[in-house]
């Protein structure tokens, strides 16, 4: 989990989007030519019917942002020392030659080769996991035909006893299996600091972790004030809307963790400006103002903090102030575990720069955490991951660069904790506005034609993505 600049990660995401849009424009042009020929050669009204049917098919089956082929193998590289020998399927039962060591903080990953059936090209394929006290499902891309990685964390007892059954739904399992076991110190029994680029990032990635930790700190770097059209609809100017959105999200970052038992004294909002961290990093001494709030002072968004930090002296939105704030917080809290975005998996520029800021703040600091856990709330390649429905397991995300040895760390959330997480997300103002009409229509078509389901807890896609049986991190020792 190496520090990266915001430019490289963002440019890769932009290149994938450009390629996707270029291919879509070319396909639309070809379809338009065909429709015109049909109208000339057959009947004037037939192109209208075909165009409508084509739009419905696109929205139902082809509208996912998937920037790779479902036939591509995921390319993880795990340490050989973590591989478990003697793994096989006996019918649909997962069997081991030797039982696993029982450890409640153990992370289990199973590599399987999955091939979608014809129906799995139109309805999400998944592998169902059943056994003694187990009922889970982990989904994949439509048309999948390659190597994928199931998350079996929390199922070590069933795996060891040969009680876990794997059944493909709209897909089949092919070839040999590989199992890896990762033993970890339980982060829930340590002092944890979650670094959130924006309000709600801590809850999306780590609510289950920080709600169970012996001591938790939540540090939010930016106010997340931009893209405030919802508030402009209330009659506010662009700047006023951005300011009130930033204040609301600052309030959320301080108060929502109380739902998980984290006191306000251990929740800090630094108030820097959304999507401005790359510019701050590029010119560390230069104040970088908000894009939309007509502000050059962070203190408006720090008003709910209960502690004083170096950046409060002048409120200047500079990289140097951010590093000073982080160093002061790390020395004050002395966390054993720091949870940050993973810069090589999560392409959001503020997330990449958040990790870089934490690593820079740790350089030469007298206190060093034992462990860094990386998370990804966004991906370069797949905007739908984690695939599948809320309250199901989280299979590993697509990774196509095997140059980095990754160490997964996952925890299991029971249903009660998942519901608490959903309620925490529901308190976040940025996740409350209704989905646009086009998205709601697309979801209705996908529900009717593609069998997809969305949770009742909220319309925002993160209620499906984040309220899951697992939280998944990537571990790095310092």
pLDDT per residue over 279-311, tens digit each? Answer: 999 999 999 999 999 999 999 999 999 999 999
Split at pLDDT 50, 70, 90, the class of 404 is confident
> Count of domains in the chain?
3
Pair type for strands 337-341 and 371-375? parallel
Better pLDDT: 8 or 340: 340
Q: What is the DSSP letter of 77?
A: B
Q: What is the DSSP letter of 378?
A: S
Instruction: Summarize the confidence of residues 85-96 as an average pLDDT.
Output: 95
Backbone φ and ψ for 95, nearest 5 degrees, come out as -125, 145
Across the chain, what does the average pLDDT equal? 93
User: Taking 80 as the threshold, does the pLDDT of residue 18 lie above it?
Assistant: no
Better pLDDT: 54 or 416: 416
Q: What is the DSSP letter of 404?
A: S
User: Taking 60 as the threshold, does the pLDDT of residue 186 lie above it?
Assistant: yes
pLDDT for position 26: 79
206 and 97: one domain? no
Domain membership of residue 275 (yes or no) is yes
Backbone φ and ψ for 232, nearest 5 degrees, come out as -65, -30
Instruction: Summarize the confidence of residues 395-406 as an average pLDDT.
Output: 92
Query: Among 303, 295, 200, 288, which Cα is nearest to 252's?
Result: 200
Split at pLDDT 50, 70, 90, the class of 6 is very low
By CB atoms closer than 10 A (0-12, 13-18, 19+), residue 82 is: middle
Contacts of 5 (CB under 8 A, 6+ apart): 278, 281, 352, 356
Better pLDDT: 431 or 26: 431
Instruction: Summarize the confidence of residues 124-138 as an average pLDDT.
Output: 95
Of 100-114, 125-139, 192-206, 325-339, which gets the smallest average pLDDT? Answer: 100-114
User: Taking 50 as the threshold, does the pLDDT of residue 9 lie above it?
Assistant: no
Q: Which two structure tokens, joined as six digits, stand for 45?
A: 């009204």
Split at pLDDT 50, 70, 90, the class of 478 is low
253 and 383: one domain? yes
Helices 437-450 and 46-61 pack at an angle, to 10 degrees, of: 90
Residues 448 and 371: beta-carbon distance below 8 Å: no
User: Taking 60 as the threshold, does the pLDDT of residue 8 lie above it?
Assistant: no
List the CATH number of the domain containing 427. Answer: 3.40.50.10320
Peptide bond into 352 cis (omega under 30): no
User: Taking 60 as the threshold, does the pLDDT of residue 4 lie above it?
Assistant: no
The last residue of a domain, from among 182, 217, 235: 182
Q: What is the distance between the alpha carbons of residues 139 and 159, in angstroms, rounded to a whole number?
A: 20
Domain membership of residue 54 (yes or no) is yes
Q: What is the distance between the alpha carbons of residues 315 and 165, in angstroms, rounded to a whole number?
A: 57
Query: Among 208, 259, 218, 212, which Cα is nearest to 410's?
Result: 208
Pair type for strands 126-131 and 134-139? antiparallel
pLDDT for position 65: 85
Terminal Cα distance for the chain, rounded: 11
By CB atoms closer than 10 A (0-12, 13-18, 19+), residue 373 is: buried
33 and 161: one domain? no
User: Taking 90 as the threshold, does the pLDDT of residue 103 lie above it?
Assistant: no
Domain membership of residue 71 (yes or no) is no
Which of left, alpha, beta for 133 (phi over 0: left; psi -120 to 50: alpha)? left
Share of the chain above pLDDT 90, in %: 82
By CB atoms closer than 10 A (0-12, 13-18, 19+), residue 129 is: buried
Of 51-55, 79-83, 395-399, 404-408, which gets the smallest average pLDDT? Answer: 51-55
Instruction: Summarize the confidence of residues 318-325 as an average pLDDT.
Output: 98
pLDDT for position 301: 98
197 and 293: one domain? yes
| Residue recorded with tokens 């982060």 | 187
User: Taking 90 as the threshold, does the pLDDT of residue 13 lie above it?
Assistant: no
Kindly list the distances between the CA atom of residue 22 and the CA atoms of 27, 61, 324, in Å, as whole numbers in the listed order: 9, 19, 43
Domain membership of residue 149 (yes or no) is yes
346 and 411: one domain? yes
Q: Which two structure tokens, joined as six digits, stand for 335?
A: 């966390």
- Other beta carbons within 10 Å of 315: 17
Q: What is the distance between the alpha carbons of residues 137 and 152, in angstroms, rounded to a whole number?
A: 11
Domain membership of residue 111 (yes or no) is yes
Instruction: Summarize the confidence of residues 135-156 as an average pLDDT.
Output: 97
For residue 364, give its domain range.
Answer: 187-397+405-450+460-477
pLDDT for position 14: 64
260 and 145: one domain? no
176 and 202: one domain? no
Split at pLDDT 50, 70, 90, the class of 173 is very high
Split at pLDDT 50, 70, 90, the class of 188 is very high
3-class state of residue 171 by DSSP: strand
Instruction: Summarize the confidence of residues 344-352 as an average pLDDT.
Output: 94
Q: Which two structure tokens, joined as six digits, stand for 292?
A: 């939309």
Q: What is the distance between the alpha carbons of residues 61 and 64, in angstroms, rounded to a whole number?
A: 8
pLDDT for position 2: 44
Of 58-62, 212-216, 361-365, which gets the smallest average pLDDT? Answer: 58-62
pLDDT for position 50: 85
pTM of full prediction above 0.85: yes
Better pLDDT: 100 or 301: 301
pLDDT for position 20: 65
Q: What is the distance between the alpha carbons of residues 295 and 289, in angstroms, rounded to a whole number?
A: 6
Backbone φ and ψ for 387, nearest 5 degrees, come out as -75, 165
Question: How confident is the model over 256-278, as pLDDT tens digits?
Answer: 999 999 999 999 999 999 999 99
Split at pLDDT 50, 70, 90, the class of 43 is confident
Query: Among 464, 438, 451, 440, which Cα is nearest to 385's?
Result: 464
320 and 194: one domain? yes
Which of left, alpha, beta for 271 (phi over 0: left; psi -120 to 50: alpha)? left
- Other beta carbons within 10 Å of 307: 11
pLDDT for position 38: 72
214 and 130: one domain? no
User: Taking 70 as the threshold, does the pLDDT of residue 11 lie above it?
Assistant: no
Q: What is the distance between the alpha carbons of residues 410 and 376, in angstroms, rounded to a whole number?
A: 13
90 and 36: one domain? no
By CB atoms closer than 10 A (0-12, 13-18, 19+), residue 177 is: middle
Q: What is the distance between the alpha carbons of residues 309 and 328, in angstroms, rounded to a whole number?
A: 7
Domain membership of residue 23 (yes or no) is yes
308 and 433: one domain? yes
Specify which residues 268 forms β-bridges with. Answer: 219
User: Taking 80 as the threshold, does the pLDDT of residue 213 lie above it?
Assistant: yes
Specify which residues 215 forms β-bridges with. Answer: 191
Question: How confident is the model over 223-232, as pLDDT tens digits?
Answer: 999 999 999 9
Split at pLDDT 50, 70, 90, the class of 447 is very high
Query: Among 311, 422, 450, 395, which Cα is nearest to 126's?
Result: 395
Domain membership of residue 227 (yes or no) is yes
Domain membership of residue 418 (yes or no) is yes
Question: How confident is the model over 366-384, as pLDDT tens digits?
Answer: 999 999 999 999 998 899 9
Q: What is the distance between the alpha carbons of residues 445 and 450, in angstroms, rounded to a whole number?
A: 7
Secondary structure element (H or E) that encloses residue 290, with its range: none
Of 95-109, 111-125, 285-299, which gets the smallest average pLDDT? Answer: 95-109
114 and 53: one domain? no
Strand stretches in 234-350, DSSP E: 267-272, 337-341
Length of the chain, please? 478
Secondary structure element (H or E) that encloses residue 394, with its range: none
């Amino acid at each position: 989990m190496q520090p990266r600049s915001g430019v490289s990660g963002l440019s890769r995401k932009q290149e994938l989007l450009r390629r996707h849009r270029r291919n879509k424009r070319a396909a639309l042009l070809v379809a338009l030519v065909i429709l015109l020929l049909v109208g000339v050669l057959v009947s004037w009204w037939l192109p209208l019917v075909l165009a409508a049917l084509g739009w419905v098919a696109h929205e139902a089956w082809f509208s996912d942002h998937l920037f790779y082929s479902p036939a591509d193998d995921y390319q993880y590289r795990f340490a050989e020392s973590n591989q478990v020998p003697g793994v096989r399927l006996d019918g649909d039962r997962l069997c081991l030659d030797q039982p696993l060591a029982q450890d409640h903080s153990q992370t289990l990953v199973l590599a399987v080769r999955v091939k979608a059936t014809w129906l799995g090209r139109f309805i999400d394929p998944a592998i169902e996991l059943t056994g003694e006290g187990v009922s889970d499902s982990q989904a994949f891309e439509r048309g999948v035909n390659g190597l994928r990685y199931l998350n079996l964390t929390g199922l070590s007892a069933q795996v060891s006893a040969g009680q876990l059954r794997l059944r493909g739904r709209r897909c089949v399992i092919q070839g040999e299996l590989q199992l890896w076991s990762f033993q970890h110190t339980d982060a829930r029994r340590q002092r944890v600091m979650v670094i959130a680029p924006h309000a709600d990032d801590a809850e999306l990635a780590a609510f289950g972790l920080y709600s169970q930790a012996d001591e938790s700190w939540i540090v939010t770097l930016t106010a997340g004030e931009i893209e405030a059209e919802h508030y402009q609809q209330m009659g506010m100017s662009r700047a006023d809307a951005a300011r009130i959105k930033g204040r609301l999200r600052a309030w959320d970052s301080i108060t929502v963790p109380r739902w998980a038992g984290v006191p306000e004294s251990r929740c800090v909002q630094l108030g820097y400006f959304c999507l401005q961290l790359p510019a701050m990093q590029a010119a560390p001494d230069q104040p970088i103002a908000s894009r939309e709030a007509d502000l050059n002072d962070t203190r408006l968004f720090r008003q709910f903090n209960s502690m004083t930090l170096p950046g409060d002296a002048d409120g200047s939105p500079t990289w140097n102030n951010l590093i000073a704030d982080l160093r002061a917080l790390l020395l004050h809290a002395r966390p054993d575990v720091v949870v940050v975005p993973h810069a090589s998996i999560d392409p959001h520029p503020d997330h990449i720069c958040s990790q870089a800021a934490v690593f820079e703040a740790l350089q030469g600091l007298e206190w060093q955490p034992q462990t860094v856990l990386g998370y990804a709330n966004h991906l370069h390649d797949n905007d739908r991951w984690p695939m599948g429905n809320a309250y199901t397991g989280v299979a590993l995300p697509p990774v196509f660069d095997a140059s980095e040895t990754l160490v997964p760390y996952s925890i299991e959330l029971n249903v009660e904790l998942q519901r608490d997480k959903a309620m925490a997300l529901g308190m976040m103002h940025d996740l409350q506005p209704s989905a646009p009409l086009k998205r709601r229509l697309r979801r209705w078509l996908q529900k009717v034609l593609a069998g997809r389901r969305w949770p009742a807890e909220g319309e925002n896609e993160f209620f499906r993505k984040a309220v899951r049986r697992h939280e998944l991190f990537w571990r790095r020792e310092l």
